[in-house]
Structure 1
Amino acid sequence: MMTDKPTITYPCTWTFRIIGKNPSAIKHAVSTLIPNMDSYSLKPGNTSKKGNYVSWHLTLVVLSEDQKNTYKKDLLKQPGIHFIL
């Protein structure tokens, strides 16, 4: 059983999969946290079988693991966002 974390070299492009119920809430949360729309891309992903959840892919350059973790933590605090993968 391998427990070593993969080595990530920063800065790097990172994609978060954001899962919530309302696409508008996800778009609003991202634009609130990252106001410069030229610095990221946000594209629709999948919809759950019953249509209750949608996923969106947020891709941006992160400068460090701390920055990546901060983005994740701050996104999870936003209304309408249920999970981040």
Structure 2
Amino acid sequence: MEKKENKIEYPRMWGFRIIGEDKEKMRAAVKECIDNQECKIEDNNQKGKYYSQKFEAYVTSEEERNEFFKRLQNHKDIKFVL
């Protein structure tokens, strides 16, 4: 059986989920990491001291999507990126 490679079409909106300890700092981090693009950030859950938020950002290529992910991952106010 041949493996079929799925091709993602760009540009497109891409969803991210982040986890951290401070909702407002997480919101500021998102804006910083995605070059101040407009996006709607939704608060999801709070489990203990951690908050979960999700948002979509406009990405023009896989490289840009990966760069946003890397910036989010490396930001001091974000613990995890999914």
TM class by smaller structure: 0.7 to 0.9
Secondary structure of the residue aligned to 2:80 is strand
Q: Which runs of 5+ in 2 are unaligned?
A: none
AA aligned opposite 1:66: E
CA RMSD of aligned residues (A): 1.8
1:42 is aligned to 41
Q: Percent identity?
A: 30
Deviation at 1:5, TM superposition (A): 5.6
**TM score, norm. by length of structure 1:** 0.79
Per-residue deviation, residues 4-36 of structure 1 (Å, max 9, x unmatched): 663211111111001111112201111223324
Q: Which runs of 5+ in 1 are unaligned?
A: none
Q: Quick check: 1:23 aligned with 2:23?
A: yes
AA aligned opposite 2:40: S
Count of residues in Structure 1 that have an aligned counterpart in Structure 2: 79
Does the C-alpha gap of structure 1 residues 67 and 45 become closer, same or farther in structure 2, counting only changes over 3 Å? same
Does the C-alpha gap of structure 1 residues 46 and 7 become closer, same or farther in structure 2, counting only changes over 3 Å? farther
Per-residue deviation, residues 18-63 of structure 1 (Å, max 9, x unmatched): 1111112201111223324xx3221111222xx2211111211111
**TM score, norm. by length of structure 2:** 0.82
Matches within 5 A, 1:1-85: 6-33=6-33, 34-36=35-37, 39-48=38-47, 51-85=48-82
